[in-house]
Amino acid sequence: MDLSLRPLAYLVLLFLASSSSFIAVYVVTANVVFPVQHKFKGQERNLSAFKAHDIRRHGRLLYDVDLKLGGNGKPSETGLYFAKIGIGSPPKDYYVQVDTGSDILWVNCIGCIRCPKKSSLGIELTLYDPKSSSTSSLVTCEQDFCKSTYDGPLPGCRPDLLCQYNVAYGDGSSTSGYFVEDNVQLDRVTGDHEVASENGSVIFGCGAKQSGELGSSSEALDGILGFGQANSSMISQLALAGKVKKMFAHCLDNTEGGGIFAIGQVVQPNVKTTALVPNQAHYNVVLKDIEVGGEALSLPSDIFENGFRKGTIIDSGTTLAYLPEVVYETLVPKIMAQQPGLKLHTVEDQFTCFQYIGNIDDGFPTVAFHFEGSLSLTVYPHEYLFQIRNDVWCIGWQNSGMSKDGSQMTLLGDLVLSNKLVVYDLVKQAIGWTEYNCSSSIKVKDESGAVYSVYAHNLSSASTAIIRRTLTFMLLLIGMLHSFSY
């Protein structure tokens, strides 16, 4: 079981001959969104779904855009956040997972093999059809995007061959597809609570085939919206075109199901940052130590060093939080020592659970991560413990050393990122966060110096279950001085 799924996923280039008609051999690429509803009837029986998801997984500012989302990060529910975006001309709506750990936007395409036709989330799935959009075009292997994605010219490339991909994951799932270019519709922020629709041309994956759990209709979405650092991500494409600065922020509310996602410069609240580790595929940071209840854990001095299958990654697409074995085996007993009378039991051979009556925050200690640059991240008991029924609670910390490859990676997902405003400054190569009410608002500044308030929303859905537990992400591409349309 690989906990850092993207580093271990491998990308294989495929070619398809293009013609006036779109090919029948479609393919899709990988990552699954887990919006937040109570999909578990017997939650204890389905806890492994959290890890199954994590295994599969492991910006010149000129406009402000409002992107509607649903879901929340609670492990006891679906555990992920998803957005609704418009693609094509005329635009159609697609529900995609928002994921800082992957590098492309992709949606399932017409003719897809084993793509889900319905979703347990109560949302209507839509297959993208390039032929139905007047602004779509195929991406060939000769184009700069394809060369950049694969770090150079591709062997055997011809003008009639499409740029394709195939991604395989540690759990046996795989997805494949080819790249297309089309308009993505974004709600540009024009003032406090005011938006106007704008189109931006983006190259994204057209999915055509899924295998393994990626074809399941439970938790199914239309695709993934990757916010990684690679040139293939949407934010990198918009930045290269001079449309945005490579800066964005998210605030995920797992209490009320609300949230904000902003591409652009956040000016309020102020957020302290730490440097990103250079030349890494993901958002790696330098973790110095961990405290439980104000007391530092006694750990090997090199345990958090960066290296092969080591280091610390911040990833909003991961539901739980994974720690090196020695850290896990030191931290969990330290937490539970505050309640020595509790009887622990294991659920599905991987989750440590117990029965507890009382206020969780009063009965258990806080956990604080300290990073380079004097930046800290505090995780409260109600965040690292999740309730599966009545008074039964489970520990969200997981042992990354239990993976098949013996990974000693620290992977911090929504378990620790929820209820915090997280800011990514890819221009300065820094990341930071602060505790925040994610159902409130933030202030952003555009290139003209104008400052706007951006509020969280709730994404409506046909499902009352989702309406009850949805969040909205505000995607903000901070204002440009010229048109964003193409």
Tell which residue, 224, 220, 262, 273, has the closest CA to residue 78.
220
Tell which residue, 91, 59, 84, has the closest CA to residue 70.
84
Contact 433, 418 (CB under 8 A): no
Where do runs of H (alpha helix) occur along 36-79?
48-57
Distance CA 153, CA 142 (A): 8
Count how many Cα atoms sit within 13 Å of the Cα of residue 244 in the half-sphere of its side chain: 28
Tokens 């009556």 found at: 357
The residues annotated with a catalytic role in the active site are 99, 315
Dmax (CA) of the chain:
71
Q: Is 354 helix (H, G, I), strand (E, B) or coil?
A: strand
Q: Is 466 helix (H, G, I), strand (E, B) or coil?
A: helix
Count how many Cα atoms sit within 13 Å of the Cα of residue 178 in the half-sphere of its side chain: 25
Contact 172, 9 (CB under 8 A): no
Instruction: Verify cis geometry, omega within 30 degrees of 0, for the bond prior to 90.
Output: yes
Distance (Å) of CA 375 to CA 180, 205, 372:
40, 36, 6
Contact 313, 283 (CB under 8 A): yes
Question: What number of other Cβ atoms are within 10 A of residue 390's Cβ?
Answer: 8
Residues near 349 by beta carbon (within 8 Å), at least 6 away in sequence: none
Provide the residue type at 147 as one letter: K
